[in-house]
Amino acid sequence: MTALAIQSDSLGYGGQRVLGPVSLDIRTGEHLILLGKSGCGKSTLLNHIYSENRNECALIPQGLGLVGSLSVFHNVYMGCLSRHTVFHNIRNLAWPSPARVAEILPLLERLGLSDKCFAAVDDLSGGQQQRVAVARALYQQASVLLADEPVSALDGPEADRVMSLLGQNFITAVITLHDVDRALRYGQRIIAIQDGELVLDERADRLTVSTLNEFY
C-alpha cells in the first residue's frame, strides 16, 4: 500500500530548480533513507513531501524548529497543539497540565532528558536540542516520520539509540542521512540524489558501503 506519492517536474526555491523530475512512491511500513552530498536536494525533497502531506507526517527539520526561550516541555507539547482547545493550550503555557507532563516525561526519559523537562531550550547543548525535536515528533504520534539529519549532533551510541527509537515508533519514515553505514543498518530502501536527480533507488540489503560512498 502506498503511504505517500510524490510527482513533480521540478522542485526548488526562489525560482531556482534544485531537483527534478521526481516520481516517488513511499510504501506503508517502509523506512526510506535519502543520501547525497550537502546541497544535492535531500532537504528540498523532504520539505516538499511535508508540504503536500502535513496531516499525516511528523517533521524533524534540519533547523529543528524549536523555540529557544520556552522549556523542553513546551517545545514537545507544541507537537500536538491541534489535539486541544485554544484555551487549554494557552493555560498549559502558563501552568503545565499534570496530565500533559505525565504524557511527555516518559518520552524525555527515553531520550535522557527527564532532568531537563522545564529547562529553557536555549540552555541546552546542540545534541540535547536535537533530542527535544525527536521527542516532539514522537509525541505527535503521526503515522509517517520525515526527518532531516535527525542524529547529526549525536555521538555514535546515542545516534544509534535515537535511530532505533524512531524506527520502533513510526510505521513509515523518510530520513536524510550522511552516514552510509547507519543508512544501511536502519533503512530498508535507499535513494541517492546526485546532480539534481534521483540516481539510485534500491533495497538496502542489496547495497554496500562502498557502493554508496560513490555518491559522496
Q: Residue 136 corresponds to which cell in the numbers above?
A: 516532539
Q: Residue 172 corresponds to which cell in the numbers above?
A: 513509515
CA distances from residue 45 to 76, 169, 186 in whole angstroms, order as listed: 25, 23, 20
Q: Residue 142 corresponds to which cell in the numbers above?
A: 503521526
CB 133 within 8 A of CB 60: yes
Alpha carbon distance 190, 72 (integer Å) = 33
Q: Residues 124-178: pLDDT tens digits?
A: 999 999 999 999 999 999 999 999 999 999 999 999 999 999 999 999 999 999 9
Dihedral (C-alpha) 109, 112, 117, 123: value to the nearest 10 degrees? -170
Given a cut of 90, is residue 201 above it in pLDDT?
yes
CB 113 within 8 A of CB 131: yes
CATH code for position 179: 3.40.50.300
pLDDT band per the 50, 70, 90 thresholds, residue 22:
confident
Percent of the chain whose pLDDT exceeds 70: 100
Residue 199 lies in domain: 2-213
Partners of 5 in beta bridges: 25
What pTM value is reported for the model?
0.94
Helix (H) or strand (E) holding 135: helix 126-140
Domain count along the chain: 1
Q: Residue 15 corresponds to which cell in the numbers above?
A: 525560482
HSE, CB side, 13 Å, CA atoms: give it for residue 35.
27
